[in-house]
Structure 1
Amino acid sequence: MHDDSIASPVAQLYANHHGWLRGWLHRRLGHSADAEDLAHDTFIRVLRSKEDVHELRQPMAFLATIANGLLINRWRRQAIERAYLEALAARPVGEEPSPEERHLMIETLLQLDSLLVGLSARVRQIFFLSQLDGLTYPQIAAQLSLTVAQVQRAMGKAFSVCYASRFE
């Protein structure tokens, strides 16, 4: 059975602002299909949110905030995928991972990125140089013009976040 008390405000929000949101996203993305996908994803988030849509004073700002978060996630994912593909291209021929392995690696990198997002760019860079590139702390320190102690402190912060996430 359909609950009009929930669907009606969301349906009204959709009817009033879907076109605007799609245009807003199109201007940022340049692709109408991508804009339509993200507009759709935005309204899926609205449906799943606990926000009382009926009480919104600034519905366009609410939708733009959700859509902007989705855009940032999309751009972050694309940057991670590009970096991973560049790293793959540098490998010797014949050492290419399977499509499943590639997918798992990208998903793992995305999870790491979202886990470490609260840390500074420098700490994330140090963590990735250590854990993905396999550099030692002295090598990282030399490459980034830091002391080994600075590298150790940064790794301590990153490991603390990783450890804490296991218990959330």
Structure 2
Amino acid sequence: MSSYPISDHPPAMSRIEAIFIEHHGWLRTRLRRSVGDAFTAEDVAAETFTQLLHSPPPQEVREPRALLTTISRRIVYELWRRRDLEEACLQALAHVSGDVQAISPEDQLQLLQALRAMDQALAGLSAKECAAFLLYKLDGLTYQAIGAQLRITPSVARRYVAKGLLQCYKAAGFAPLE
């Protein structure tokens, strides 16, 4: 916090500061019950206020706790989703290699980072589009087989896979072909 009085800050900043001062402790306590430990609760609370700071300035927040709850729930959901993804990856590695410890920590980190990047790239797809893309890339299924499994036509399966590929290309920084 700066040494300037709150009144010297822009109105939106002073409002967010007031919300922080009044509700930070409450949010941290609430999150600790939800996520199970103080460190994660503090991280989520900090990210909640960071997102609030970077959102459009609130004109008037009538229910600050409801707003903070909504933002923090999204963050906690993403945290759990990432943990589930990491756990699934580690289980798959253990199943394939028999021992996750045989893979170096650096390789595990690179794999998890790649999975997070792919997860983020595919986040804009529907469940069926994502499933079609993963069946094509990971399982090597044909459009016909994907269509049969997802109960869609092969041409729709092809379109879904193409959309997944486009998302990956965009995430990698490649411009789509016109």
Structure-2-length-normalised TM-score? 0.74
Offset at residue 114 of structure 1 (A): 1.9
Residues 19-28 or 89-98, more deviating: 89-98
Offset at residue 143 of structure 1 (A): 5.2
Equivalent position amino acid for 1:19 in 2: G
1:61 corresponds to which residue? 66
Q: Relative to 1, partners in 2 of residues 1:72 and 1:99: Cα closer, same or farther, differing over 3 Å?
A: same
Question: What percent of counterpart residues are identical?
Answer: 33
Distance 2:115 2:156 in 1: 24
Aligned length: 166
Offset at residue 85 of structure 1 (A): 0.7
Q: Relative to 1, partners in 2 of residues 1:54 and 1:20: Cα closer, same or farther, differing over 3 Å?
A: farther
2:43 corresponds to which residue? 37
SS at match of 1:135: coil
What whole-Å deviation, never above 9, does each CA across 1:16-52 have from its counterpart, x for those lacking one? 11122123323432334322221122223334x1433
1:91 corresponds to which residue? 96
Unaligned stretches of 5+ residues in structure 2: none
1:71 aligns with one of 60, 71, 76: 76
- In the alignment, does 2:18 pair up with 1:12? yes
Q: Relative to 1, partners in 2 of residues 1:151 and 1:57: Cα closer, same or farther, differing over 3 Å?
A: same
- Give the superposed CA RMSD: 3.0
Distance 1:61 1:108 in 2: 35
2:120 corresponds to which residue? 114
Offset at residue 116 of structure 1 (A): 1.5
Equivalent position amino acid for 2:35 in 1: L
Distance 2:140 2:31 in 1: 40
Distance 2:157 2:131 in 1: 10
What whole-Å deviation, never above 9, does each CA across 1:98-145 have from its counterpart, x for those lacking one? 2122212212211221222221112212222332x2423255456556
- In the alignment, does 2:25 pair up with 1:22? no
Distance 1:87 1:146 in 2: 28
Equivalent position amino acid for 2:65 in 1: M
Unaligned stretches of 5+ residues in structure 1: none
- In the alignment, does 2:57 pair up with 1:52? yes
2:162 corresponds to which residue? 156
1:128 corresponds to which residue? 134
Q: Relative to 1, partners in 2 of residues 1:14 and 1:80: Cα closer, same or farther, differing over 3 Å?
A: same
Equivalent position amino acid for 2:81 in 1: R
